[in-house]
Amino acid sequence: MFPPSLLEKLKTPFGTYRREEVGHADVYHVSKPHAFVQAAGYLKHVLSKRNKCAVLYRGQPDLYGCHLVPTLYRSTRSQEGKSKQDHALSAYLSAISAKEVLKPVGEYAREPLLQHYGIKTKWLDLVDNAWVALWFACHEANPSRDLGKYVHFSRRHPSLNPRRMSYAYILLVRADLVPPDVEQPGLFVGPSTSLIDLRVAAPSTFLRPHAQHALLLKRATGLDHHHIDYSDFVVGVIRVNLVQALDWLGSGSLLSAHSLFPPPAYDFGYHNLLEYSPTGNAAIGTIHQICP
């Protein structure tokens, strides 16, 4: 479950702190984009003084029972199952590192980079751009059944049931605010979290993470089966009526699937991953092919 949030103390006529009907989470419901930005800014400012942490965004169409589990472990039910997933990922990383496709990327950045292109890892996708986060909260990924290889994104449709409102959710997630690793650019390793900024750690020949303002987070220590849920890093949840969120986003080309998931013609690293990466499997998935 998500821990209590300081957003309860934020007072504005355009935002209210309330209990989510489904999932029993405390959310800050906003009705204006200014209140959305203010709520996120409030936590960034207050928490940076109290806990020396950064606050980042994660857009979701659902709260998923107030759990926040990386893709590698979402079907894991035991320590043995977790170990099998870890082994499968290690084997894939060894196989792809033997090829030329990831040669321009430092070893420390390969796993989080592959997460961005479809491989299941222990890293969690975040962004530092509120509108990109809102886009992900307003769209759904529709994978095919064959390892989820083919994926297309569709705009969510608001519920027609007046008793069942549709919402977009922005999770605000904390990360340790620490100096960057000098030897591994873009990596920030703190007492409780490891954070990587792929815009620094990976060259822009891998264009997708740069287009999405991508950062990724994982737990720094104690990653046994009982700690695969990262929900304790959530410091607040912003909720927006889906109709309003879609209106705020509009239809600009910079906030489209074509822009946020650049095709292989522009994303040369993605092209090479599609051409030369090893075949995936049920445990760790595969490199996604994004379809219109």
pLDDT digits (tens, 9 = 90+) for 188-240: 999 999 999 999 999 999 999 999 999 999 999 877 888 999 999 999 999 99
* 179 neighbors 54 (Cβ within 8 angstroms): no
* Structural domain spans, the chain: 6-154+166-287
Pick the residue with more confidence: 225 or 272?
A: 272
Q: State residue 223's pLDDT score.
A: 77
The answer on pLDDT for 24 being more than 70 is no
- pLDDT above 90 covers what percent of the chain? 84
Q: Output the pTM of the full model.
A: 0.95
Question: What is residue 8's DSSP assignment?
Answer: G
**Backbone φ, ψ for residue 82 (5° rounding):** -65, -45
> In the predicted model, is pLDDT for residue 4 greater than 90?
no
- The β-bridge relationship of strands 289-290 and 150-155 is parallel
Q: Is the pLDDT of residue 163 over 70?
A: no
Instruction: For the sheet with 167-176, list strands across it.
Output: 15-19, 26-30, 234-241, 167-176, 53-60, 124-127, 214-219, 193-197, 187-189
C-alpha–C-alpha distance, residues 101 and 267, integer Å: 13
Mean pLDDT of all residues in 155-160: 87
Single out the residue of 205, 224, 195, 176 nearest to residue 108, CA to CA: 195
Q: What is d(CA 274, CA 268) in angstroms, rounded to the nearest whole number?
A: 10
CA proximity to 235, closest of 41, 9, 2: 2
pLDDT of residue 183: 96
What is the residue-averaged pLDDT of the chain? 93
pLDDT confidence of 121, banded at 50, 70, 90? very high
Region 148-177 average pLDDT:
90
For residue 22, pLDDT over 90 is answered with: no
Q: 2 and 25 in contact (C-beta within 8 Å)?
A: yes
| Residue 80: other Cβ atoms inside 10 A | 10
User: If pLDDT is split at 50, 70 and 90, which confidence band does 23 have?
Assistant: low
For residues 215-253, one letter each, b for 16 or more C-beta atoms within 10 angstroms of the residue's C-beta and e for the rest, the string is: bbbbbeeebeeeebbbbebbbbbbbbbbebbbeebeeee
